[in-house]
Structure 1
Amino acid sequence: MKRIVIKVGTAVLTQDDNTKLALNRIENLVKLISTLKNDKKLEIIFVSSGAVGAGYTLLQLDKKDLVNKQALAAVGQPVLIKTYQELFSQYNIDIAQMLFIADDFDSRKRSKNAKNVMERLLVNNILPIINENDIISTEELIGDNDQLAAYITHYFKADMLVILTDIDGYYNKNPREFPDAELQKIVSTISEDELFKKPSANSKFATGGIVTKLKAADFLMQKDIPMYLTSGFDLTNAYEFLVNKNHKSGTIFKK
């Protein structure tokens, strides 16, 4: 059975300047994952950002303060997981939550335990939903959830990482600044200049940007694992690629 990691970012999960969960987009995302899991019989591991953003919908604190950020994550994590639980239950999918910090990957014992739990969940047809444990973590795991998803893909032996975000793929230059920017459907190498640019993010609750996605892709390409990048706002391309096996748009990173 094929195993896929799907990662979605905060920009997709929230709306109205991060004051509300984007329920329509979340419902569409749940439907896509359910289609892949139930109809296509794929093993899905779901990496979801959005705990801090979800917390902000109830408690407006300044995220720049670390304790505030941790408090927002504490408030937002149950909000987010409850939303997923309610929506996935409509498709008869049970979920489980797994939270990680850096030490979990540094410790052989912890990583082995995590692998054992992951395999037990998947064999019992449970959907694991993964996030960084922002409540107790004092620094970003390996930069952001894009790179967390790449590590998850590698450590749990998935066949592909799919990142759903606020852009529809990787362009040869910034499409928001240059109308003549061209989408790169297949990328086999990433320059060091691209990898070491300062990350930028559109949402004040996001920690990534295109640079963190390129780093995730580069990490996986070194291990011969492909990554697919496309829009989480409009899932047309994701459906075409993942369900219909038709690469109309979006970017595949592979050697």
Structure 2
Amino acid sequence: MATSKWKRIVIKVGSALIAPNRDGCSRQYLLSIANFIVRCRISGIQTVLVSSGSVAAGSHLFKDADTSSMTVKKAMAAAGQTEMMATWDKLFDFSTAQVLLTHADLRNRYRYCSVRDTLEALLEGGILPIVNENDTVTTDKLKVGDNDNLAAMVATAANADALIICSDINGLYTANPHKEKDAKLIPNVYEIDQSIYNMAGGATSSVGTGGMKTKIEAAEKAVSHGIDTYIVDGFNENSFNQLLAGENPGTRFHPHSSPMQDRAHWMKHTTKEQGELIVEDSFAIDSESEEELLVPQDLVDVTGEFSVGDVVLLKKENGEELAKVKTNYSSCLLNFVATQDNEHISQQLDDTEEPLISEKYISVMDKNTENKNTKNK
């Protein structure tokens, strides 16, 4: 293991560890995690904490309310977030900082870079960033949905060396160990393929929103950026002792030896398509070119609602997906372009000297930018 080479890590802690009984925050399992963070800092390892738990921590304050209501859940998050932060703050003798994010903050390149700069400034100042999704204001369209994937995005933005995901079991098993006696722990994963996802099953905790599947999704995001990733038993103090001793206490997902470039990684793993541009079946995309020439004559249809600078999916009429692209025009204008006289529109757009799209990520680039080993053991 490369523990001795870690300079910066991200550790993700779930709701089941924060509020195991949904009766406010508990320090029962957090003490060993806080001690691990302190020991990392003493060793010169900068740490970012991604902490779920605001909804679970605030749920006991709304016992008579309709807990299935999204409005009530947002209120739980608002009340529970302060309790969660206060609990963490009491466990450290150094400063902490609250960082609340939505997916909208990460999928916009300028805001993503701003988040990265803020994390960098906090870490350089010796302050522990405590990150959570902003459940109080987020919507289905704006949310990441689980803090496993959020932790991977944060690890990428922070340029971390390792991502440690705390679970209620000590890693990935061949089957659900709570149900199958013959399930075996997989200590090392070198390639994340469909066979790995098939082992994930569903969530094992009644408190959290994620499961093993989201942890594997997070690992896939992280390792493609060269980030060592671990799933460990967060309820077991020895997990953290083993990590600091250079041992693997759970499942280690080995990073790719040739990580994706930052911008391509952001396009693939952080952005979400806000709509689609449909082009003629004869349209050919140039995988070698940095820029893509997409003219109004190529545009057949536009689906979804999006703004200037959003990422959309470029597809052929036959359904073939070509690339993720960053659009320079809104869906409203491009809908107009697709239904008007192309020659006249082309001349007008030429006058603006602004291409229809300015950036792309092509799915086939995976084979060129990611070096994957083929053996899991």
What TM-score do the two structures reach when normalised by structure 2? 0.62
Q: How far apart in 2 are the matches of 1:253 and 1:63?
A: 36
- After superposing the two structures, state which structure 1 stretch, 160-169 or 27-36, moved more: 27-36
Are residues 1:75 and 2:79 paired?
Answer: yes
Are residues 1:28 and 2:26 paired?
Answer: no
2:19 to 14, 18, 21: 14
Are residues 1:3 and 2:21 paired?
Answer: no
Q: How far apart in 2 are the matches of 1:174 and 1:143?
A: 23
Matched with 1:233 is: 235
Flag the structure with more relative contact order, 1 or 2, with Cα contacts below 8 A and sequence separation at least 6.
Answer: 1
Q: How far apart in 2 are the matches of 1:62 and 1:26?
A: 29
Task: Trace 1:61-72 onto structure 2 (pairs within 5 A).
Answer: 61-72=65-76
- After superposing the two structures, state which structure 1 stretch, 140-149 or 44-53, moved more: 140-149
Matched with 2:160 is: 158
Is the 8 Å Cα contact of residues 172 and 199 (structure 2) preserved in structure 1?
no
SS of equivalent residue, structure 2 residue 97: strand
- After superposing the two structures, state which structure 1 stretch, 125-134 or 78-87, moved more: 78-87
SS of equivalent residue, structure 1 residue 200: coil
Q: How far apart in 1 are the matches of 2:239 and 2:129?
A: 24
Is the 8 Å Cα contact of residues 161 and 226 (structure 2) preserved in structure 1?
no
Is the 8 Å Cα contact of residues 229 and 252 (structure 1) preserved in structure 2?
yes
Q: How far apart in 2 are the matches of 1:23 and 1:57?
A: 16
What TM-score do the two structures reach when normalised by structure 1? 0.91
Aligned amino acid, residue 10 of structure 1: S
Percent identity reads 34
Is the 8 Å Cα contact of residues 172 and 200 (structure 2) preserved in structure 1?
no
Is the 8 Å Cα contact of residues 7 and 164 (structure 1) preserved in structure 2?
yes
Question: Residues 138 and 59 from structure 1, CA distance in 2 versus in 1: closer, same or farther, beyond 3 angstroms?
Answer: same
SS of equivalent residue, structure 1 residue 31: helix
Q: Aligned residues, how many?
A: 248
Q: Quote the offset at 1:196 in angstroms.
A: 7.4
Are residues 1:126 and 2:130 paired?
Answer: no
Is the 8 Å Cα contact of residues 21 and 57 (structure 1) preserved in structure 2?
no
Matched with 1:222 is: 224
SS of equivalent residue, structure 2 residue 61: coil
Aligned amino acid, residue 9 of structure 1: G
Q: How far apart in 1 are the matches of 2:139 and 2:230?
A: 30
Aligned amino acid, residue 173 of structure 2: Y
SS of equivalent residue, structure 1 residue 23: coil
Q: How far apart in 1 are the matches of 2:230 and 2:137?
A: 31
Q: How far apart in 1 are the matches of 2:59 and 2:89?
A: 20
Matched with 1:45 is: 48
Q: Quote the offset at 1:62 in angstroms.
A: 4.2
Matched with 2:358 is: none
SS of equivalent residue, structure 2 residue 28: helix
Question: Residues 250 and 198 from structure 1, CA distance in 2 versus in 1: closer, same or farther, beyond 3 angstroms?
Answer: closer
Matched with 2:150 is: 148
Is the 8 Å Cα contact of residues 99 and 131 (structure 1) preserved in structure 2?
yes
Question: Residues 198 and 40 from structure 1, CA distance in 2 versus in 1: closer, same or farther, beyond 3 angstroms?
Answer: closer
5+ long unaligned stretches in structure 1:
none
Matched with 2:59 is: 56
1:86 to 80, 86, 90: 90
Q: Quote the offset at 1:52 in angstroms.
A: 0.3
Q: Deviations over 1:189-232 (max 9, x none)?
A: 22325537897324444110000001111122222222111111
Q: Quote the offset at 1:109 in angstroms.
A: 2.0
Question: Residues 196 and 246 from structure 1, CA distance in 2 versus in 1: closer, same or farther, beyond 3 angstroms?
Answer: closer
Look at both structures and tell me which one has the larger radius of gyration over its CA atoms.
Answer: 2
SS of equivalent residue, structure 1 residue 55: helix
SS of equivalent residue, structure 2 residue 180: coil
Q: Deviations over 1:97-135 (max 9, x none)?
A: 000011101222212221221111111100000000000
Q: Deviations over 1:109-164 (max 9, x none)?
A: 21222122111111110000000000000127333100000011111100110011
5+ long unaligned stretches in structure 2:
1-5, 257-377
Aligned residues: CA RMSD: 1.9
Is the 8 Å Cα contact of residues 168 and 205 (structure 2) preserved in structure 1?
no
